Chain A
Amino acid sequence: AQSVTQPDIHITVSEGASLELRCNYSYGATPYLFWYVQSPGQGLQLLLKYFSGDTLVQGIKGFEAEFKRSQSSFNLRKPSVHWSDAAEYFCAVGAGAGNNRKLIWGLGTSLAVNP
């Protein structure tokens, strides 16, 4: 069965420090992978996605993620965190086919940023 694991429930970093959020997936075929961000009381905003091709994908807000098939991972990175990056981050894998598709989500990683 498809699944997504985000090993870190909560991470705290200092403003200006680098960030890496971990994501591991289980999926039988070539995965479609996503990172979303959710600010308190808000919906979900897509940061970036991987479908195929270059395994290093660039997203919005200075985020990037690297797909590593051998490790079944899709970790999110940012070289320098800003206070406004404090939020909940979700990794998801796309499942299904055709017009019957859905996202399977991890439990999320809560990011706090110290000034």
Chain B
Amino acid sequence: ETGVTQSPTHLIKTRGQQVTLRCSSQSGHNTVSWYQQALGQGPQFIFQYYREEENGRGNFPPRFSGLQFPNYSSELNVNALELDDSALYLCASSLDGAGYGYTFGSGTRLTVV
């Protein structure tokens, strides 16, 4: 079975721009969660999508938005990028959020300059 894949692996953007990060969930998984990990910090929960609907959100502003597609892949969109958005963005997939059986991707390293 394939694991979770994220693209791109690295990205550099300018403050004020918009960015889209992509995640392909593990085969058979219908739940995708996104986390932001700033340098030297633990991951912070952004939101979770279950069967194409957002069903949980952390303490992030509305300029962080997402989508989940019928094949359960997902996108994270961030508008009006700020310097503090520079971080590793991690995607994790699971089946129905059950048992917290999260499989994580390797992440996208976003640098905002």
Query: Size band of the B side of the interface?
Result: 20 to 34
Please report which residues of chain B, range 95-109, place their CB below 8 angstroms from some CB of chain A when the two chains form the complex. Answer: 96-97, 99-100, 102, 104-107, 109
CA distance A13 to B102 in the complex (A): 29
Smallest CB–CB gap between A56 and chain B, Å?
Answer: 19
Contact with B along A27-42 (1 / 0, CB 8 A): 0000010101000011
Q: Which residues of A contact B99 (CB under 8 A)?
A: 32, 51
Which chain B residue shows the least CB distance to A97?
A: B97
- In the bound complex, do residue A45 and residue B104 qualify as a contact, i.e. CB atoms below 8 Å apart? yes
Which of A14-22, A65-73, A79-87, A99-107 binds B? A99-107
Given contacts A49-B100, A107-B42, contact A102 B56 (CB under 8 A): yes
Binding site for A on B (CB under 8 A): 4, 31, 33, 35, 40-45, 48, 50, 55-56, 58, 90, 92, 96-97, 99-100, 102, 104-107, 109
